[in-house]
Amino acid sequence: MSPDPIPRGTNSRFRVPTNVPVFLLCFLAAVVAPALEQWDHGEVVLRGPSGGNPYVDVQLRARFTQGDQTIDVPGFWDGGDVYKVRFSPPTAGDVAVRDIQQGWGNIDAPTMAQRFWLGTMSGCYVGHGETYKHPEDILWWSKGGVLHGESPKRIQWLKDFMAQSPPFHELQPLGDDKGRFVLAKPGEFYLVYCVQRKPETIQLAGERPYKVDLIEPWAMTISPAGTAHAGEFTVAPARPDTVFRFTPYAAGEAIRPDARIQATPTEDVPPLTVSFQAVTTVARADWDLGDGTKATGRVVQHTYAEPGVYTVTLTATDAGGGVAVAQTEIVTEHETTEPLVRAGFARGEQPLLKLHGTAQRGPDGGLLLPAGAPWGWVQAGDALIEELRGLRSFTMLGWLKPTSLEVGSGGNRIVFCLNRDGDGIDLVCHTDGRLRLAVNQWPDGIRNDSSLGKLVVGKWTFFAVTYDASRSSDNVSWYFSPPLDAPGKTDVRLDRQTTYNNGPVGADLRGLAIGNFNQTMHSYGLDRQFRGEIRGLQIFGSRVSGRGAQSLETISVPTTTF
């Protein structure tokens, strides 16, 4: 369970946009049911949310133990606010019920802090529960207590920040249901929350100029960012989850200096030498170059030796002490001919793999995922793979041999690094033998598929899928070999091209799982497992161009040498 609390929208004065999830409380239990006869009927009854869609909003599972036996059982909605888990013990005696889990209890601290902001930006009064598993079984929402984790202090900071803003009942949410978040008292106060790293335009009322402040919710900092004139104004965040505040200058108040950054080049392979120029009229320019290096001067030069995404901050100070802050981003990456991920090989895998549940090693280092519960998954590395963040283009390829095309709800996972249903990549297999790719979103409802019948039970098929966010159309390409009895040298052809552009891979992804969900989705069940064997899986990519989307001529097919 997450050590951070779960927000619950309460006393809302406005309709909550559909892209602002309102999460519900999560129950933990460790109780003993009365002694039952073998295969007798028993159940646990819980009270939960009575509104919304209980089939989508709530995922409920419980673990029953009796002696040395452990059984995981899904729960169900029984009308109104009643949720139940039923069980029939295989032998007579007491049954312990442990760790009753729901899928809406699994978000991390940054996501929690973000959702408090988004709820607030949508004009809602946002509350919280607590899912921290206290050793004394204390639930904050029922007994009171101390909130745990990294988000409470940031929630408090947001509360204090809003207390210094105009009264909340005077503010209007001016965003939409498509990812735009604006909260304002027109002519006096504006907040713009940039969820992604893309420009947002706002209309500033009146005639007076406005002070612009750069707010970083996770860092809990406020920095002056120059001046905006009334009318249409565009902000360009250097990173996701950035907030801009606009407040008009008071009569006679000194105008802040303006500052922006010119950087050349902004992206390439390391070592990358970048020239920076402070575009400002003030004399003093101080730089934080994003890798721990500091510098001073209107023009500076710096070399980035390692791959990474670096946020560069310029602080311009005038003679009167007025300050303006500007930011930009520098991206360096490996050559795209080298794989970022290499799995299902007898040697040379990266990162190191950990096999869980029923997952096994197959011949030649392949990853074997047997059909049927209990399920298995393969974990790539101990944390998220930094090299996958922000990929503008990528290629995934490998060999697949399904032993069954029976699928769980929504299809079986081949590659999954989503942050639940947010940033990351999701490659799915469906029961009709087609594959589907989703980027930064859940794949349900997406029609970004290969042709039907590309995977055949008992046969090996080589696949490659490329994604290029730098192209506006035909930016996904699917390639396949014919079904084969064994991996080897084969003819690979273009199957189809589709238009599906959901931007570069988001920065807020999570750990990479192969053949199933990662930990952000384990409470939803692990039956969305690929059923069969995966060999020679590789991921290539580029943060700076479309060259991570390989052409048919450059795609290399791993063979039986693995």
DSSP 8-state code for residue 88: -
**Pairing state between β 172-173 and 181-185:** antiparallel
- Mind giving me the DSSP string for 349-415? -BS-EEEEET-EE-GGG-EEE-SSSSPEEEEESSS--GGGTT-SEEEEEEEEEES-----TT-EEEE
pLDDT of residue 105 exceeding 90: no
The residues with which 220 forms a beta bridge, in sequence order, are none
Contact of 98 with 63, CB cutoff 8 Å: yes
pLDDT, tens only, 124-174: 988 766 555 666 766 555 566 677 788 999 999 999 999 999 999 999 999
Closest CA to 318 of 374, 261, 254, 260: 254
pLDDT of residue 95 exceeding 70: no
pLDDT of residue 381 exceeding 60: yes
The percent of residues in the chain predicted with pLDDT above 70, rounded, is 80
Which of residues 352 and 36 earns the better pLDDT score?
Answer: 352
DSSP 8-state code for residue 254: P
Mean pLDDT of 224-239: 94
Residue 343's contacts (CB-CB under 8 Å, 6 or more residues apart) are 349, 353, 367, 378, 380, 514, 534, 537, 538
CA distance 260 to 279: 5
Contact of 431 with 449, CB cutoff 8 Å: no
pLDDT, tens only, 532-551: 999 999 999 998 889 999 99
Q: Which of 29-38, 208-217, 344-353, 417-426 has the lowest mean pLDDT?
A: 29-38
Number of helices followed by number of strands (H, E) in the chain? 4, 39
CA distance 265 to 275: 7
Confidence at residue 254, expressed as pLDDT on a 0 to 100 scale: 93
Q: Cα-atom radius of gyration of the chain, to the nearest Å? A: 26
Confidence at residue 66, expressed as pLDDT on a 0 to 100 scale: 56
CA distance 322 to 109: 35
pLDDT of residue 1 exceeding 50: no
CA distance 540 to 112: 31
Mean pLDDT of 366-385: 94
Contact of 440 with 502, CB cutoff 8 Å: yes
Confidence at residue 445, expressed as pLDDT on a 0 to 100 scale: 84
* Three-point CA angle 417, 535, 339, nearest 5°: 60
CB atoms within 10 A of CB 542: 26
Confidence at residue 25, expressed as pLDDT on a 0 to 100 scale: 32
- Judge if the upstream peptide bond of residue 166 is cis by omega within 30 degrees of 0: no
Confidence at residue 19, expressed as pLDDT on a 0 to 100 scale: 36
- Say if residue 458 is exposed, middle or buried (CB neighbours under 10 Å; 0-12, 13-18, 19+): exposed
Mean pLDDT of 440-459: 94
Confidence at residue 39, expressed as pLDDT on a 0 to 100 scale: 54
121: confidence class by pLDDT, cuts 50, 70, 90 = very high
Which of residues 62 and 103 earns the better pLDDT score?
Answer: 62
Confidence at residue 21, expressed as pLDDT on a 0 to 100 scale: 34
Confidence at residue 68, expressed as pLDDT on a 0 to 100 scale: 57
Confidence at residue 440, expressed as pLDDT on a 0 to 100 scale: 94
pLDDT, tens only, 471-507: 999 999 999 999 999 999 999 999 999 999 999 998 8
Q: Where are the alpha helices (DSSP H) in 259-376?
A: none
The percent of residues in the chain predicted with pLDDT above 90, rounded, is 62
* Residue environment code for 4-14, b if the CB has 16+ CB neighbours within 10 A, otherwise e: bbbbbbeeeee
Confidence at residue 416, expressed as pLDDT on a 0 to 100 scale: 98
Calculate the average pLDDT of the chain: 85
pLDDT, tens only, 22-43: 333 333 333 334 455 555 566 7
Which of residues 211 and 336 earns the better pLDDT score?
Answer: 211
Contact of 302 with 293, CB cutoff 8 Å: yes
pLDDT of residue 178 exceeding 90: no
Confidence at residue 562, expressed as pLDDT on a 0 to 100 scale: 61
Confidence at residue 127, expressed as pLDDT on a 0 to 100 scale: 77
10: confidence class by pLDDT, cuts 50, 70, 90 = very low
